Amino acid sequence: MASAIAALPGLPFDPQLADALSDQYPHANDFDRNVREAMRDQSKAALDHIAGCILQVARDLSNESNLTGAGFRLADGVKRLNEARSDARLPDFAGVGPLLPDELDGLVTFCARLLIARGRGLIKSYEIQASSPAEIESRIAAIMMESGEHSIAALTQRLAEHGVALQDAAVSVWTDAPDPLVAIQVSGAVRVESWQAAEEAVREWSIAEKESAGFATRATLATVASGTIIQIGINIWNATAGFTLATQPDFERVANALQHPLLPTIYQELADELLQNLVTASSNMVRSEKRPPDWPTKIAPTRLTNVDLRAGDPAPWETALDTYRELRDRVLTQTPGDTLAGAVSNLAPSVSTQSPLIELVANLRLAAMDADLAGSS
């Protein structure tokens, strides 16, 4: 197999590249090493990687760990194929077609999932021998859906234990999943008034508890009000990983999966612009105060944005602007070392804290959400 891959036509030699490298590396050894690296054929490297996975399987078909490991390695072949296709030097021969057809991706993914399923004992060897490729693919799809259903059941139970009802949930494909056989992600939503309890339930959910409950996929839990997805949520990264705050693409995916409208972000974006302006001003003030006296002129202060209520703005936006003005006054009178950066970049809108500064940031964001909600109704 290795000889067959080596015999494939490679990348055309680039004399201009060779001339440039010869000027840069006058010694033969350096030139040879760098020209080989520059002319490395990623298409052959991708095929060689796939061939290596096949050889790994052939060496020990009865070793479940070997099959699982080969499956994970083989799944990485899709990324290598895409990298090879992105090389503009990859030749396209007339009458032959693409050297790396797109169909290879689906075949590699299918084989990777089959190996992992076989290695984990989810599919028996006799089932593979007695089934067509289409039947095996259906079985693998069913295994993937089962992982999603188990995760929904585990999440529902976890929330119920904390007095929260999961309002809606759905599964969708997770294209970049670290586990090819669990390439499923769960989208769920709880009522916005239940979010604090829901968030605490997720944050306190230990790895052992998730594994015991059968939670195995990625999940994004968002909030819903009046049938609209609100931009308050959290990502749960499978059973063995932690969580991160959900971002706008996560909310868009949840809204699409649950078939709910997504709250517009007009006032939320305005609030983020105001906060970023305050962060820049605060950071510049701190840096200016800490500069040694013999350094050049201090950093020029950042001009703070002054925003007034406009005709037609909803009432919650007036509350948001009042909060912004209070934050602005704090920035103008702050002591050296006091900065907003951590509060703005690391805080979920619902996180409660004893810090007045962080509470103001949270209140501004929540008021902006209320303004968007009022403006969309």
Q: Tokens in use for 270?
A: 């305005």
pTM exceeds 0.85: no
The mean predicted confidence, pLDDT, of the chain is 81
Q: Tokens in use for 142?
A: 């069913």
Residues of the chain with pLDDT > 90, as a percent, come to 29
Per-residue pLDDT tens for 58-75? 888 888 899 999 999 998
Under the banding of pLDDT at 50, 70 and 90, the label for residue 336 is: very low
- Counting Cα atoms < 13 Å in the Cβ hemisphere of 99 gives 23
Q: Tokens in use for 314?
A: 């909803």
Under the banding of pLDDT at 50, 70 and 90, the label for residue 300 is: low
Q: Tokens in use for 88?
A: 């503009």
Average pLDDT over residues 246-263: 93
Average pLDDT over residues 105-118: 90
DSSP 155-209: HHHHHHHTT----EEEEEE-TT-SSGGG-EEEEEEEEGGGHHHHHHHHHT--HHH
- Please give the C-alpha separations between residue 352 and each of 198, 233, 361, in angstroms, as whole numbers: 14, 15, 11
Q: Tokens in use for 83?
A: 């990298």
